[in-house]
Structure 1
Amino acid sequence: MEDETFPEELADTLVRIQRLVRRRLRGGLSVPRLRGAEVELLRLVEARPGIGISDAARALHLAGNSVSTLVNQLVKGGQLLRETDPADRRAARLLLTEAAGQRLADWRRRRAELVARHVSRLDAADREALRAALPALRKLAVTLHEEAEEP
């Protein structure tokens, strides 16, 4: 029988790592920090330029009005552009501003440097264990995403 505490320990550890990474990255910011949902939306728009609000809501598993609120805040903050869809004048298409693209690139660089610095402090066996766990963690992410898309 699988250890009954494993799922809880895994979830707690992943959340703790994510929280600590976010906290460390907040330090030294010269611009107002973005909330997690705002960053997720910017990353989605970066990956899918021109995405509509309803498609973004589905991809992020958020209510459409929640994404509309995020879009309004990010447009006001100069992070997103909202353009009218030429195929459907009622729909909006979302694009990153240059400032947002630079901000995401900086965030990715800072995050990679932070994690690399801390991973390098682990011994070789622990680094290899983390590397070996990546495929299983990716599969876990896929199954969680797929379950979220089920009706």
Structure 2
Amino acid sequence: MANDRIPIDRFDEAILRILSTDGRISATELARRIGLSKSPTQARLKRLEETGIITGYRALLDPIRMGQAHVAFVEVKLSDTREAALQAFNRAVLAVPEVEQCHMIASRFDYLLKVRTGDIQEYRRVLAERISALPHVASTSTYVAMEAIKEFT
């Protein structure tokens, strides 16, 4: 993956920084803020999209206002770490809507999940019925988040 790196300059960096905080900014305002005219700004934006540096645009939702304030991080240890088992786990975890993030980890456990639910009772149900039932799960350890200090990139 390191070979897939796309070179970006200071104008591209400025575009990305601005879009990461305001994805609805107009091309005219974006151009003004980075110090280029509209046409080169639009060309840079199109290149950043086409090369996959910008993968999409979306609304940021407030999970607390949506009743999803409970966050837990779950270490998952698998009983089998051969490629077929890893792929089976990867496919299955994608279908668990409460799993907000899933990362394969080089550690004493195999995966770290970020799980968001409404409360601890709902989390307990998700852990028992969905996460523990994923393919090859041998054990889990849960860490409940008390407060989010920084969540967005």
Q: Where is the helix percentage greater, Structure 1 or Structure 2?
A: 1
* Structure with greater contact order relative to length (CA < 8 Å, sep ≥ 6): 2
Structure 1 length-normalised TM: 0.33
Higher strand share: 2
Give the greater-gyration-radius structure (CA): 2
* TM-score normalized with structure 2 length: 0.33
